[in-house]
Amino acid sequence: MPEQLAAEQDAASPAAVQVAGRAVLLVPHRGPGVGEDALPPDHQRILAIVRGEGGPVAVKVVGEKPGLEVVVRGKLEPLRGKLSKLAGRGWLRKLPDGRFTTRQ
Residue 55 pLDDT: 86
Nearest residue to 98 via CA among 71, 69, 62, 72:
62
Residue 63 pLDDT: 86
- What are the structural domains of the chain? 31-102 (1.10.10.10)
The SS3 call for residue 68 is coil
User: pLDDT per residue over 23-77, tens digit each?
Assistant: 556 777 777 887 888 888 888 999 999 999 888 999 888 888 877 777 777 878 8
How far is CA 11 from each of CA 14, 15, 16, 24, 34, rounded to the nearest angstrom? Answer: 8, 9, 12, 16, 24
